[in-house]
Amino acid sequence: MVLNIAAYHFVAIDDPRALADALHARAAAAGLRGTLLVAPEGLNLFLAGAPTALRGFLDQLRADPRFATLKAKQSHSATVPFARLKAKVKPEIITFGHAGTAPLGRGRAPAVSPHDLARWLDQGCDDAGRPVVLLDTRNQEEVGHGSFVGALTLPITDFTQLPDALAPHRPALAGATVVSFCTGGVRCEKAALWMGDTGMANVLQLEGGILGYFEQVGGRHYDGACFVFDQRVALRPDLSPVAAQD
């Protein structure tokens, strides 16, 4: 059985190229495949391999104080869903194009846990009695595989288009608690910070994204599967791959 992880971590990195090269060498030595994205604002990882080897890689990464609190979403597959191992250096770990939307020196965006979100959806409001609007920050292709029931989805093909696409909806969201969500958390964290910076109140991110929700809650209030960035194509709420069985 192959272990798959998706993880991101915002932290200042002085020499992204050196870190990318070091992590690539370490992952290659462990027989891992996938993608390592390194930027001045942090890391974004999608890796797969033998469970012992991948967990050892994560343990070694967390031994670095910068990454001690890195969290990884886990799933399993019969085969490695990546063709090779790649390490990339980019300006952002996910391109958004709005300065100040990485939580460096300012703290993370407020978050709601998967269990609390499921409870809010069960009761039809948050704990303050406000209606809850789920905002899907992913693109149309990803949304096509599944999303939360009743979520606000936007006609975008790229994350950078989200601000313009959201603009017509902002007045209607004024009295609601808006929970942004994405696959693993990195886009909804940036989106939540940007929304707060641009005057929206009561904005939260879904802690751990859809994959974290699947791990903790399953498929309650979710319709379909979650697109992932590898050969499995999408994962069901039980984290089984759609491509391998359909």
Q: Which residues pair with 103 in a beta bridge?
A: none
Long-range contacts, 125-131 (Cβ 8 Å, 24+): 126/177, 128/177, 130/175, 130/176, 130/177, 130/202, 131/175, 131/176, 131/177
Contact 177, 132 (CB under 8 A): yes
Catalytic residue among 125, 182, 188, 226: 182
For the stretch 76-103, pLDDT in tens is 999 999 999 999 999 999 999 998 899 9
Q: Is 125 a catalytic residue?
A: no
Mean pLDDT of the chain: 96
User: pLDDT, tens digit, for every residue of 194-221?
Assistant: 999 999 999 999 999 999 999 999 999 9
Q: What is the pLDDT of residues 97-122, one digit of tens each?
A: 998 899 998 989 999 999 999 999 99
